[in-house]
Amino acid sequence: MPLSTVRKALCARLRRHRRPLFVLAVVALLAQMAFAMVTTAVQQTPTIDEPVYVGTAVVYEQQHSLRYNPEHPPLGKLLIAVGTTLADPHLDPGFTGDQTRLGRHLLYESGNDPWRLMLWARLPVIAVTLLTGLVVLAFASDLLGRVAGLAALALYAFSPDVIAHGSLATLDVPAAGLLLTTAWLLWRARRRPRLYLPLAGVALGAAVATRMSVLPLVPVLLLLGALSYWHAHLTPGPARHGRMRLPVRATAAAVAMAVIAVAVVWAAYLAVDPRLRWTTPPTVPDIRGVRGFVAHWLPLPEPYRDGMRVQFGIEYSTKGGGFLLGRRYFGSLWYYLPVALLIKTPLGMLALWLAGTSAVVAVPRLRAAIPYILVPPTLLMAVLLDGSRDFGTRYAIFMPMFLAVVASCVLALRRSAARRWAYPATAALILFVAVSSLRTYPYYIPYSNEAFGGTAKTRLRLHDSNVDWGQDLGRLADRLDDRYPGERVWLVYKGSGVPAYYGIDAADPLRVPANDVHGLLVVSDSAAAKAEPGGPVERLVRSSEPVDEVGHSITIYRRP
């Protein structure tokens, strides 16, 4: 039988079964992502931020009080509370400490099992991360069809950053996922505005009620709502309105969307405390100028506006510092996030991001999507460049979500001169991304791409939630038991866990003279990166020999 005949028969069979094959591919991609997130969540001890969110979620559910963690809106923590409620944790109703102390008290001092409680707290975020994958699939499919949808979903499902932070009880991934959902619904509103604009308002309100960092995009998304309404009613059809009245109606649609979003934020606060009891804490800074004006006049609950003032106070602060490319610095660097993304994004993904962006700009039929898939992440990244949060790519976790959709647009080149290489090159790059992601399993937090030495070398260039966020305390306990039983251990740990709970019997080397420190010196890589030059941690590390590492986030030294 001629080869061409065989090829045609095979193609015909695939076309007949393309729907079941499509569903199977979607299930397989999401299943591997779910497996990676759940197994990672089971193995990791609490990261630095998680105990605060989990403790606050339990207080929401049991005491209906907004007094903890006002700098973040409640919806993300209500999501976490869905899991903690099923875990049925005990919390002393008379506890009066701050939010950091609350998390430690709940996990380690109240008779709860922190492994079980943290897993239940993380599961709702994992579920939202998987649902966001379906949004990525739907968005790309709407633009270019099912094959593009699968390409976008594959990039999303294998993204090390999304897997890393989608498996934690934090707010970054839910907020970014809701932003993407808003953009997708606005794109669909170009055809059916009456259905999708109200849904976009709900999604936008949910994003604002999850994390305040999305606020700079609100005017842009409302403008896109008006644009979508305008487009829908400029097309031929029985519902076409006169051109003179269309601007007014489009503006009214955007205002209605804003009203819905505000109502969702209010509903999130009232779900915690229907009486909305709130007293402004003395720690809330007095913010003046434009930011203070905005915080005062926004039609949002008072605790939300006080939380904005806390966030603005953090932005004004210059006491913090960072670590980038092996250099410790104070203040903030505008190029921190772009460089960190360059280090922590798989090389195949970077290539597809660039190719997809070029395709969106070059292909006429895709240009209408630019305001929906390129403008939001670009503007939000520009805002972040002026911020002071040099702690990790989690602040830009929206990038692999939006740009997965953008990257799939490279397949639009199939009808141009590039059609011969678009499909096979895209498949090869996605395979490269998958291999790179799978190789780092289960150490997704410290991932970096091959151009920067891989996961084992990330600690030499980055710190904090890019590498070591306190997640490997349990693994450290197992390593000490397996390889170094009975040895003297000195520990410099940067995290929220309690070493003694996990069976780590260690002393603090910073409380004794350096000459008294002998045996195993265990140092969190973030603590080493931020160590003061010539300070006690730096001197201890310099005078010790590295002998082991745990999770690519903790280094074990031997000090004679």
Q: What is the pTM of this model?
A: 0.93
Question: What CA–CA distance (Å, rounded) separates 135 from 121?
Answer: 23
The pLDDT tens digits of the residues spanning 275-289 come to 999 989 888 888 888
Instruction: Say which range, 299-308, 415-424, 438-447, 488-497, has the weakest mean pLDDT.
Output: 415-424
Peptide bond into 442 cis (omega under 30): yes
pLDDT of residue 535: 87
Instruction: Say which range, 330-334, 363-367, 396-400, 498-502, has the weakest mean pLDDT.
Output: 330-334
Instruction: Say which range, 2-6, 185-189, 297-301, 507-511, has the weakest mean pLDDT.
Output: 2-6
Specify the pairing of strand 554-559 against strand 519-524. Answer: antiparallel
Find where tokens 């569903």 sit: 23
Question: What CA–CA distance (Å, rounded) separates 436 from 440?
Answer: 7
Instruction: Say which range, 318-327, 346-355, 372-381, has the weakest mean pLDDT.
Output: 318-327
Indicate whether 413 pLDDT > 80: no
pLDDT of residue 238: 46
209, 42, 193: which is closest to 121 by C-alpha?
A: 42
Question: What CA–CA distance (Å, rounded) separates 78 from 328?
Answer: 37
DSSP character for 507? B
The pLDDT tens digits of the residues spanning 92-142 come to 988 888 999 999 999 999 999 999 999 999 999 999 999 999 999 999 999
484, 447, 474, 482: which is closest to 462 by C-alpha?
A: 447
Percent of the chain with pLDDT over 90: 72
How confident is the model over 310-333, as a mean pLDDT?
A: 79
DSSP output for 500-535: GGGT---B-GGGS-GGG--EEEEEEHHHHHTPPTTS
Q: Where are the alpha helices (DSSP H) in 328-397?
A: 336-344, 347-362, 370-373, 375-385
Determine contact, residues 556/504, Cβ cutoff 8 Å: no
The helices-and-strands tally (H runs, E runs) of the chain is: 23, 6
pLDDT of residue 291: 85
447, 512, 519, 364: which is closest to 40 by C-alpha?
A: 447
Determine contact, residues 503/481, Cβ cutoff 8 Å: yes
Indicate whether 396 pLDDT > 80: yes
Angstrom CA distances, 273 to 196, 278, 346, stand at 30, 9, 43
Indicate whether 370 pLDDT > 70: yes
How confident is the model over 359-366, as a mean pLDDT?
A: 90
How confident is the model over 39-55, as a mean pLDDT?
A: 95
Question: What CA–CA distance (Å, rounded) separates 396 from 381?
Answer: 7
Instruction: Say which range, 92-96, 176-180, 328-332, 399-403, has the weakest mean pLDDT.
Output: 328-332
